[in-house]
Structures are given as C-alpha cells and as structure tokens.
Amino acid sequence: MSYTIGLATTFHDPAIAIIDPGGEVLFAEATERYLQYKRAPNCEPDTAVRMESLLKRYIPKGAQIRLATSWGEEFTGFLDQMSRAGSFSIDALLKLSPAFNRSLVPERSERALIASLHHQQQRAGLGTLLGLDRAFGEAKVTGIKRYGHHLSHAAYASWSSPFRDAACLVVDGMGETGASAIFALKDGRLTELKRHRGRESIGFYFGFVTDLAGFDQAKGEEWKIMGLAPYGKSDPELLALLRKLYRVEGTKLTFADAATVQQVATDILARRPADALDKGWADLSRCGQDVFAEMMEALLAETAALCPSENLVLAGGCALNSSFNGKIVGRHGFKQVYVPSAPADDGNAIGAAWLAHAEANPDWRAPKGPMSPYLGSRLSTEPFERMAAWEPRLRKLSPDEIIAATAKLLAEGKLIGWAQGRAEFGPRALGNRSILADPRPADAKDLLNAKVKYREAFRPFAPSILAEHGPDWFENYQDSPYMERTLTWKEAARNRVPAVVHEDATGRLQSVTAERNPRYHALITAFHELTGVPVILNTSFNIMGKPILHSSEDAILMFYTSGLDALVVEDWLLVK
C-alpha cells in the first residue's frame, strides 16, 4: 500500500499533493495558503509542522510513501554542477549585469532565480521526512522521483481533463530547456511531440510588459495587465516596438537577441507616462496583451499542425491569461478547450505525484475529468462555537436557512464573506472561499473596493452564473468551471449586472452546477428566485496583496477589520 506525495518545487508557488494507492487526489494546496504569504517565494512546500498534521489526516501509519517533484533528474544534476562551480555565489552574481538579457529578464535576476530553484530541489522532501518522524516516529519513504517540469504540467492538466485524446500545449516562464512544449494525449497516455529550447519565453515576455507598465511581476501583478488592457488603445508605435521582440519563421516562434531586448526596453521607458507607477500604463497593457495573443496564436498553430485534434488542453502559467483563453474555441480546429484550476506551477504537485503513481502502476488511468478543484483544507467551526457565548450577532442556522438568509442579504446589497467546504486548488475563488455581492448595482464594484478589497478600480470582478442560464447571458457561451476564460456578455444582459461587466463587455465567468458545488448552486438559485438574476459577483476572500484566507480566524479578522456586512462559514452567520 503506497501513497504518493507530490511537491511543486519551483522558487514560486510551491504546493503539495497527496495521492492514495488508487491514484485519487486526497489533498492539494498551494503553500501560500498555509503561510499566508503571497506566492510563498523560495518557501518549501512541505514544512515539517504542516506535514505532521496532513500525514495524520490522510496517510495511515505504516504506509509506504513515494515522493515526487516537478523538475527533472538530469536538470537537477545540472544545477548541482553549476553550484559546485560557484555559479550561484555572491561573487559570481556580482559579475553579472542587471540589464535585460535575451530571456527578457535582467541577467543577474535570472541567475538568482536559478540559484533559488537549485535550493528548492536540494531540500525537496526534507520537511516530509521530519513530518513523518513527528507523526509516526518513522519514515517509510521508498525514494524520491524527479519529473520534467513541462511533463508535470501536461500530466496534471491532461489527466484532470474530460478528454482521453487531445493536444496539450504547455506555456510558461521557464522549463528545463525552454518555456513551451507540445504533447499528445492518446487513450490517456502522454507523448512529448516538441520542446522549445532557449532561455526566452512568452511567460517572461508578459513579466517584461508588467514591469514596463508600472507594475511588479515579482509580486504576481501580471493580472493587472489583463485588467487594465481594455482601458487602453492600440498604439502602433508601441506595437512595433513589442513586435521587435519576436518573429515567426514557418511554425517556429523565435525571440530577439539581448541588444534588441535592451533597446526595446529603453525605447518603451522613454515613452512611459509619468504617472504609470501610480496608475499603470493602459496603452502598453493593451498592446502587450495583443502581442501576447499573437505569440500564443503561433504556438497554437504549431500545436494543431503537430497534433490535430478537436480537444485542446492548455497548461503552464500563461494558461492563466483568461482574456486569451476565451478566444481559442473555433480556431485551429479546436472545438473544446480545457484549462485546469491550477495551471501554473502549483498544479505540478499533482502532476508529479500522478507521474510517479503511473510509473509504479503502468495500467493505471486517471479517472475521467474534469477534476473537482475543491481539494484543499477545511475550516474549523470551533472558533464560532466559542464566540457564540459572547457575540449576540452570531447565529447557527440549518443548511436551508443559511442559504435563504444569505440570498436575502445579497439581494439587499450586503457584502458577504462566504466560506464553506474544502478550499479551491488554484488562484481563483470558486464559491468556497469567496466574497459575494449583488451584481446589479452599478456602484457595487466601487463599494467593494472601498470597503473590503482596497484594489485598483480598473480590475474587474467576476460573475458566478448558474450554468443552465449561461447561453442566455453570454455570446457563444462556453462552460467555464474554474473562471479560466472571459466571454462577452450579451448586449441585453449588460445593464442588468453592471458590476461584473468589464470595460470591453466581458466577464471572467464561473459556470456553477449542482454537481460541482451543490451548496453554492443552491445559493445562486435562491438569489435568482428573489431577483430574477442567475448571477452573483464573486471575488476571492482576501484583501489586496494577501493570499486567499486559510482559517476561520482569518475570516473573522477580515470581517471585523473590513467593510464586510456579513460572514458565513459553513452554517454560522455573523452580521454587523
């Protein structure tokens, strides 16, 4: 009886996954949630104290455990050689330039990132070993397997999809040899068809634009480019500069040399408005998003040529670009597109674990997807049981009563913190760790920003919609279970839910079904019955700069220190 623990071991977005002897995912969560440290840069995914509690919950004493990580054996050895040669020392880093190189990041920064990546591989699994000692007094670990970064992406995304056959495209900032790869999924088995080789990447390109537009990619602010882009105009001079960074030769996407990258950066900075660091640069955001789409189109064309299919699986950090994802269906022969709930590096914890399980069990096939995203921690209600003795505004209701009461509060315009069940795996709040609001008032977005989220006015809020009503509200409706794509609202619907209609008339929707999330579906249904609108505003339960909450204490603190009107955790309702 062997369990598998998968570790996402990049220098950002570390995560852990636990797989049972049959290949079922028992638990998956990004480390940032537990640490409450956004993206958890350079943090180990498996701290010993955290592992002790997880092991006791999910793995029986005496079970054998195999470990798996998300960077390959050969590449890890190469990093070891670099370290022994002194390439990661401070003296070596001081000799490097802080200027941009051809990979679209500063030379010294890139080396420092690789040094951090090496450190992550060196300590992978140490926390698990110590956690096993703490939990059981022994560590029955059969060894550690290391799998290719893009293969881990492809395994998680493809095997969690509803497809048995599909083309799979992985696009991110970096892998072992390059930053994109194409795979074929045939009868549930993956075959690599092509791997990009080179330091440059579309992921690093998007970070390059993020920084030049006045934001900070190190803080994960790439999202802001997508949000601000619709407010900008297409500037021919900016487009021409950005297009100098790449070219398409046949079906091959290639990038410019370091001198060109540096000159483009200099020319763009010379044009940057003085207030960009405070407000962002809308025109560059628009042009940057447009050029991102051009480069992605080239990769999609190459994918379709190498692996013709009606089904596309998209993974890697660039698959978080929901603005582009909503435009893929109908192009290059792709009729269905699947993007998992955690397409970035945190998802590789599941990918690596599944690869190790599949290697040990050659006849195993992943269960038909799409996989539920609700794989994380539960909230304890014990704090509310203690509070009930002194907080007169706190009530425990029946499940039906909590739905009815919450729907009524929403229809009255109240801002609700809503937490139930297991946390979502991935960056989106999908109805289990959400702040909810009525989408009908035009000022709901401004009110939510002023009272709770404290974020830029240009960033949109997302709609959760009853899936059965989707075709009536969106043009060319596509099922979107994880908020992974934006679609265009039908014109007649836009003035009914202005708080979730973005500047370009789109919405990054979540399609909600009773099968996927019965309690959340019941809430939206109750709201629909009260208002005639099968949509609610859904944003992540956090404030700007912090991860989505992890505990009931986090929820209570945010309730009392923000403008939330009510807090619902399981069947407990707390109002102001």
Query: 191 vs 155, 184, 261, 306, CA distance in Å?
Result: 10, 5, 34, 12
Q: Are residues 349 and 386 in the same domain?
A: no
What pLDDT digit, counting tens, does each position of 215-264 carry? 999 888 999 999 999 999 999 999 999 999 999 887 788 999 999 999 99
The pLDDT, as a whole number, for residue 199 is 84
Average pLDDT over residues 392-415: 98
The count of other CB atoms within 10 Å of the CB of residue 6 is: 34
Q: Are residues 89 and 146 in the same domain?
A: yes
Q: Are residues 364 and 395 in the same domain?
A: no
The answer to the question of residue 335 being in a domain is: no
Bridge partners of 64, per DSSP, are 2
Q: What percent of the chain has pLDDT over 90?
A: 95
- Higher pLDDT pick, 543 / 111: 111
What pLDDT digit, counting tens, does each position of 342-392 carry? 999 999 999 999 999 999 999 999 998 999 999 999 999 999 999 999 999
| Count: domains in the chain | 3
**256: closest CA among 216, 291, 227?**
291
Bridge-based pairing state of the strands 394-396 and 572-575: antiparallel
Q: Are residues 381 and 358 in the same domain?
A: no
DSSP 139-201: --EEEEEE--HHHHHHHHHHHTSS-SSEEEEEE-S--SS-SEEEEEEETTEEEEEEE--SS--
Whether the CA torsion 153, 157, 160, 164 is positive or negative: it is negative
Average pLDDT in the chain: 97
Bridge partners of 538, per DSSP, are 436, 462
CA distance 439 to 436: 9
The answer to the question of residue 165 being in a domain is: no
CB burial class (10 A; 0-12, 13-18, 19+) of residue 366? buried
Domain boundary among 371, 388, 411: 371
The pLDDT, as a whole number, for residue 554 is 97
- Amino acid making up residue 232: G
**96: closest CA among 111, 114, 83?**
111
What's CA 436's distance to the chain center, in Å? 20
The answer to the question of residue 192 being in a domain is: no
Query: 209 vs 242, 315, 416, 456, CA distance in Å?
Result: 9, 21, 35, 18
Q: Are residues 8 and 153 in the same domain?
A: yes
Q: Are residues 154 and 76 in the same domain?
A: yes
CB burial class (10 A; 0-12, 13-18, 19+) of residue 93? middle
Q: Are residues 348 and 495 in the same domain?
A: no
Q: Are residues 31 and 121 in the same domain?
A: yes
At residue 313, does pLDDT exceed 90? yes
Q: Print the domain residue range for 114.
A: 2-160+344-371
Domain boundary among 356, 371, 386: 371
CB 566 within 8 A of CB 557: no
Residue 477 φ then ψ, to 5°: -55, 140
- Higher pLDDT pick, 441 / 543: 441
The pLDDT, as a whole number, for residue 495 is 98
pLDDT interval class at 158 (50, 70, 90): very high
DSSP 502-550: -TTSEEE-EEE-TTT-HHHHHHHHHHHHHHS--EEEEEESS-TTSPPP-
Domain of 10, CATH number, reads 3.30.420.40
The answer to the question of residue 418 being in a domain is: yes
- Amino acid making up residue 445: K
The pLDDT, as a whole number, for residue 161 is 98
CA distance 172 to 179: 5
Q: Are residues 231 and 148 in the same domain?
A: no
Q: Are residues 239 and 386 in the same domain?
A: no
Domain of 473, CATH number, reads 3.90.870.20
At residue 43, does pLDDT exceed 90? yes
CB 30 within 8 A of CB 15: yes
What pLDDT digit, counting tens, does each position of 423-466 carry? 999 999 999 999 999 999 999 999 999 999 988 999 999 999 99
What pLDDT digit, counting tens, does each position of 45-63 carry? 999 999 999 999 999 999 9
The pLDDT, as a whole number, for residue 544 is 84
Q: Are residues 137 and 214 in the same domain?
A: no
The pLDDT, as a whole number, for residue 553 is 97
The answer to the question of residue 60 being in a domain is: yes
The pLDDT, as a whole number, for residue 335 is 98
What's the farthest any 2 CA atoms get from each other in the chain? 71
Residues in the chain: 576
The pLDDT, as a whole number, for residue 1 is 83
pLDDT interval class at 545 (50, 70, 90): confident
CB 18 within 8 A of CB 3: yes
At residue 198, does pLDDT exceed 90? no
The answer to the question of residue 334 being in a domain is: no
The answer to the question of residue 390 being in a domain is: yes
pLDDT interval class at 500 (50, 70, 90): very high
Bridge-based pairing state of the strands 15-19 and 2-8: antiparallel
The answer to the question of residue 116 being in a domain is: yes
Q: Are residues 109 and 16 in the same domain?
A: yes
CA distance 31 to 14: 6
The pLDDT, as a whole number, for residue 250 is 78
